[in-house]
Amino acid sequence: MKRQASYATGPTTATEGDETLDATFDVLADPDCRAILGAADTPMTTSELADACDIALSTAYRKVERLSETPLLVEGVRFDPEGDHAAEYTRGATDAAIELGDDGVTLTVEDGGVDSLTAAVETTGVSAD
């Protein structure tokens, strides 16, 4: 299940027994996923991410799918006045902290602080009119 771009900002916390914790650590262990996260500082389509990271498009689609299941990458929409809208992805995290406690591992991911609706409205060529 893809994690949709949120309208509210704030940290995401995953703890032991949470599938998000394992998924997040799995993608962080993958060099292609880390490259995609590095490139996704601005919204990019999967094709643009593949080009920027010098990986095959089919690989990029699989990695973006995995990353979208974590709080690290969020999906938005690139609006096209011609109606040919495209999915675009951006890094959903600015910071992450790992805590080791009596209850196990806790991962807290801080988001970028910009909601997807605001980002879409501020995109060049998009108007509320």
Distance, CA of 23 to CA of 56 (rounded, Å):
22
Residue 43 or 18, more confident:
43
- 88 closest CA partner among 41, 128, 23: 41
Q: Which residues pair with 90 in a beta bridge?
A: 74
For the packed helices 31-39 and 57-68, what is the interaxial angle rounded to 10 degrees? 80
Summary mean pLDDT of the chain: 82
User: Model confidence over 7-16: pLDDT tens digits?
Assistant: 345 688 887 7
Which tokens in the block code for residue 3?
């994690």
The structure's pTM equals 0.75
